[in-house]
Amino acid sequence: MKKYLVATAAIFAASLAYAGEDSTLAIEGEVFVTEVDAPEHMENVSTLYSGWTFRADETQALQLDDFDNPAFLFLDQAIDQWDTVEGSEGKSCSTCHEDVADFAGLKSTLPRVEDGELVTMTNLVNECVTDRMGAEPWKYSGAKMSAMTALIAHQSRGMTMNVAIEGDAAPFWERGKELYYTRVGQLDMACSNCHEDNYGNMIRADHLSQGQINGFPLYRLKNAKINTTHGRFKGCMSNIRATPFKEGSEEFKALELYIASRGQGLSVETPAVRN
Amino acid sequence: MTLTRRDVFVLGSAAFAGTALAGMPAFASATDDLIAEFTGGAEAGSGALVLTAPEIAENGNTVPIEVDAPGAVAVAIFADGNPVPAVATFNFGPLNPSRSASTRIRLAKSQNVIAVAKMEDGSFVRADAAVKVTIGGCGG
Amino acid sequence: MAEGVKPRVKVPKSASAGEVITIKTLISHKMESGQRKDGDGNPIARSIINRFVADFNGQNVIDVTLEPAISTNPYFQFEATVPESGEFTFTWYDDDGSVYETTKSIEVS
């Protein structure tokens, strides 16, 4: 056990205040909640911080103007896709859904339980693609799906994260919580070791965030494209040298619900910009 | 004389540097050569050219820079630590009032970003900015 | 033509004669630098946008030479003087010979 503690101490450098503690995220006059009291179900954290607050000034600035934000290139592609007919039924998204803006409020309440199953936005989009359009399902974090889920989630921007965690959702939420605190991989780390115990601290030259997903799908400077929650979970698991679960797996869906619930009260920022 | 490991290393480096300089003189000054090409060999002084770049870049993939060169006809940007030092050349047209521009660039590591402006009178002005590129934890 | 290349341009819809306006442009492009290697260790060929030009009613505003050090999805911000009503033309030139062009009209009062 001692060995692991030493290893952990070597990874996390001394505590430093993160970059934008006092800055305000406002886009076209709309102010976003980036810091708020944690919900009751969070036992070890008192204040929530959006991932935006941990970023350097230059990265933060990219999200302050929708033109400067490169994610909108991909949202533009999704707007074209919205009207593109695909599959055997001769339908596009717009055949049934007149205006994508009608999806305001969806991202802030997903994942949710439908007929006993936990569903993500990707599941809902693919249900349309296969059952109603008669097309092949889109790849879970493929370019088309990432852009489309970002466009749909963007309709909820500024709304408050508010997923259901009780009733039908409770067993999924419990499963997600268990995964969040379970140490895995060669580095033997759980989500909580970085994102609960050490947010705000440095991991090499980088600030660890709380791992909030209120800005997803989002644009990362690292790979210059839209990144999904499940794609990011996979990246984290690879970093701690664990074998990642599959995108769209029951494990990642449950984890997504639990992590979304750890952001209850923060504003939806989609599409956010991160490192 | 007792040689420490450090001495050996220093000697080795010096020998290598000597060889490198003799063997391929252009290597060490690829950026200088490109600047000389842009200026036609003329000396670039300091003057009305402001180069804005972050002191620390969170991600070397996307580093915002800005040049502001009133009275310039063109500004060339170089990054002396990149495998290819040339970054961009802005040529300003008659309808460009401020002779300023912003873009986003890639920096392979911590290094100097250099802007050289060609002024309307044919003279050249230079500005340098050192940018530290951090190695991310999980973000980088 | 490289896949999925899409320009975005921000120009005010109106201005007063001689006013200085700010223009922003963004285009989706991988800007493959030629420095990277694929999974098998073979170099990936350079494929970038190498030139960007902004003109107004046939007169030049800015003409940029791009090298591989320009980030993915190239972004430019610059200013322009608008003497009269007319049209901005923005043109990006791809290594592969493709040319992407978009225009924006501006009303001068």
Q: Which CATH number do you get for residue A236?
A: 1.10.760.10
Same domain, A167 and A268: yes
Q: Which residues of B touch A236 (CB under 8 A)?
A: 138
- The pLDDT, as a whole number, for residue B96 is 94
Report chain B residues touching chain A, CB-CB < 8 A. Answer: 54, 56-59, 61-64, 134-140
Per-residue pLDDT at A149 exceeds 60: yes
Nearest CA in chain C to B78: C69
Which residues touch C42 (CB under 8 Å, ≥6 apart)? Answer: none
- The pLDDT, as a whole number, for residue C91 is 97
**What's the per-residue H, E or C state across B79-126?**
ECCCCCCEEEEEEECCCCCCCEEEEEECCCCCEEEEEEEEECCCCEEE
- Using the beta-carbon criterion (under 8 Å), do C79 and B92 form an inter-chain contact? no
Percent share of chain A, pLDDT over 70? 92
Residue B131: CB atoms within 10 A of its CB come to: 21
- The pLDDT, as a whole number, for residue A205 is 80
The distance of Cα A266 from the centroid of its chain, to the nearest Å, equals 12
Which residues touch A197 (CB under 8 Å, ≥6 apart)? Answer: none
Per-residue pLDDT at A148 exceeds 90: yes
- The pLDDT, as a whole number, for residue B29 is 82
Residue A183 lies in a domain: yes
- Using the beta-carbon criterion (under 8 Å), do C69 and B61 form an inter-chain contact? no
| CA distance from start to end of chain C | 39
- The pLDDT, as a whole number, for residue A23 is 82
| Residues forming a β-bridge with B114 | B78, B128
The distance of Cα B45 from the centroid of its chain, to the nearest Å, equals 15
Domains and CATH numbers, chain C: 6-108 (2.60.40.10)
The answer to whether C85 and C106 are in contact (CB under 8 A) is yes
Per-residue pLDDT at A20 exceeds 50: no
**Rounded Cα distance, C64 and C99, in Å:** 15
The answer to whether A225 and B63 are in contact (CB under 8 A) is no
Average pLDDT of the segment spanning A32-38: 95
Residue A247 lies in a domain: yes
- The pLDDT, as a whole number, for residue A13 is 41
Residue A89 lies in a domain: yes
Same domain, A171 and A90: no
Establish if C47 touches chain A: CB-CB under 8 angstroms: no
- The pLDDT, as a whole number, for residue A15 is 36
Q: Collapse the DSSP code of A135 into the 3-class scheme (helix H, G, I; strand E, B; otherwise coil) and give the result.
A: coil
Selected residue with higher pLDDT from B1 and A14? B1
Structure tokens at A64: 């302050």
- The pLDDT, as a whole number, for residue C2 is 55
Express the helix, strand and coil content of chain B in percent, nearest 5 each: 25, 40, 40
Residue B32 buriedness (CB in 10 A; 0-12 / 13-18 / 19+): middle
Q: Collapse the DSSP code of B77 into the 3-class scheme (helix H, G, I; strand E, B; otherwise coil) and give the result.
A: strand
Same domain, A93 and A54: no
Based on its alpha-carbon atoms, the radius of gyration of chain A, rounded to whole angstroms, reads 19
For residue C28, the distance in angstroms to the closest alpha carbon of chain A comes to 6
Same domain, A93 and A219: no
Number of domains in chain A: 2
Residue A115 lies in a domain: no
Q: Which residues of A touch B64 (CB under 8 A)?
A: 58, 61
Same domain, A225 and A261: yes
Same domain, A148 and A165: no
Which residues touch A233 (CB under 8 Å, ≥6 apart)? Answer: A244, A245, A252, A255, A256
Nearest CA in chain B to A51: B139
Same domain, A47 and A138: no
Encode pLDDT of A237-263 as tens digits: 999 999 999 999 999 999 999 999 999
Residue A230 lies in a domain: yes
Residue A33 lies in a domain: yes
How confident is chain B (140 residues) per 10-residue block, as mean pLDDT? 48 44 52 94 91 93 95 96 95 95 96 96 96 74
- The pLDDT, as a whole number, for residue A17 is 41
Which residues touch A249 (CB under 8 Å, ≥6 apart)? Answer: none
Establish if A74 touches chain C: CB-CB under 8 angstroms: yes
Q: Collapse the DSSP code of A167 into the 3-class scheme (helix H, G, I; strand E, B; otherwise coil) and give the result.
A: helix
Q: State pTM to two decimals.
A: 0.86
Distances (CA, A) of A154 to A113, A215, B13, C32: 21, 9, 55, 29
Average pLDDT of the segment spanning A37-61: 94
Same domain, A59 and A136: no
- Using the beta-carbon criterion (under 8 Å), do C8 and A224 form an inter-chain contact? no
**Rounded Cα distance, C46 and C32, in Å:** 5
Parallel/antiparallel/unpaired status of strands A218-220 and B86-92: unpaired
Same domain, A173 and A230: yes
Would you kindly state where each structural domain of chain B is located, as residue ranges? Answer: 5-133
The H or E element that residue B18 is part of is helix B5-23
Establish if A56 touches chain B: CB-CB under 8 angstroms: yes
Residue A29 lies in a domain: yes
Other chains touching C, judged by 3 or more CB pairs under 8 Å: A, B
Q: Which residues of A touch C8 (CB under 8 A)?
A: 67, 72-73, 76
Per-residue pLDDT at A9 exceeds 50: no
- Using the beta-carbon criterion (under 8 Å), do A236 and B138 form an inter-chain contact? yes
**Rounded Cα distance, B136 and A204, in Å:** 6
Distances (CA, A) of A69 to A185, B75, C8: 35, 26, 11
Beta carbon pairs, A and B, within 8 Å: 60
For residue A206, the distance in angstroms to the closest alpha carbon of chain B comes to 5
- CA quadruple A259, A260, A261, A264: dihedral, nearest 10: 130
CATH topology of domain B5-133: Immunoglobulin-like (2.60.40)
Q: Which of residues 21-60 of C touch B (CB under 8 A)?
A: 33, 35, 54-56, 59-60
Other chains touching B, judged by 3 or more CB pairs under 8 Å: A, C
Encode pLDDT of A183-236 as tens digits: 999 999 999 999 999 999 988 888 899 999 999 999 999 889 999 999 999 999
Parallel/antiparallel/unpaired status of strands C7-10 and C19-27: antiparallel
For chain C, what's the residue count? 109
Which residues touch C52 (CB under 8 Å, ≥6 apart)? Answer: C25, C62, C63, C64, C66, C74, C76, C90, C91, C92, C93
- The pLDDT, as a whole number, for residue B99 is 96
For residue A17, give the amino acid letter.
Answer: A
Of C24, C71, C73, the CB nearest to A73: C73
Residue whose token pair is 């989002």: A218
Residue B8: CB atoms within 10 A of its CB come to: 10
DSSP letter (8 states) at residue A168: G
Selected residue with higher pLDDT from C34 and C66? C66
**Rounded Cα distance, A164 and A171, in Å:** 12
Residue A218 lies in a domain: yes
Per-residue pLDDT at A116 exceeds 90: yes
**Rounded Cα distance, C68 and C50, in Å:** 8
Same domain, A170 and A269: yes
Domain that holds residue A24: 6-68+160-274
Residue B13: CB atoms within 10 A of its CB come to: 10
Encode pLDDT of B58-92 as tens digits: 889 999 999 999 999 999 999 999 999 999 999 99
For residue B16, the distance in angstroms to the closest alpha carbon of chain C comes to 25
Active site residues of A: 236
Distances (CA, A) of A54 to A16, A109, A199, B111: 11, 25, 9, 24
**Rounded Cα distance, A263 and A210, in Å:** 9
The answer to whether A261 and A106 are in contact (CB under 8 A) is no
**Rounded Cα distance, A127 and A130, in Å:** 5
- The pLDDT, as a whole number, for residue C5 is 79
Of A72, A143, A224, the CB nearest to C72: A224
